[in-house]
Amino acid sequence: MVQTLWLIRDKVLSFLRDARAQDTFEYILIIGGISVAVIAAVVLAAPGLMKEVIYGVCLAVKTVVAPVTCTAP
């Protein structure tokens, strides 16, 4: 059991030291920034559309989680 934990620890540390981890993190930051910009553009460009978007997301969540209550826009 202890050997398994040490192996996992070594794998995680070697991944964090690898340059690919830095590249992956940078891509995640870029994708996050683009996502925020797209959401802000939708909110600013079509404020009336937001009610429908929120309702659609609510219905999508309701299919996964049963006790969600959605109100029509």
Q: Which amino acid is at 5?
A: L
pLDDT at 2 over 80: no
Are 60 and 49 a contacting pair, CB within 8 Å?
no
In one-letter notation, the amino acid at residue 70 is C
Q: What is the pLDDT of residues 46-73, one digit of tens each?
A: 877 878 888 888 888 888 776 767 776 6
Instruction: Report helix, strand or coil for 28.
Output: helix
Tell me which DSSP letter residue 69 carries.
-
CA–CA gap between residue 73 and residue 44 (Å, rounded)? 18
pTM for the model: 0.47
Unique residue bearing structure tokens 């891509």: 27
* Segment 10-44, tens digit of pLDDT: 887 777 776 777 788 899 999 999 999 998 888 88
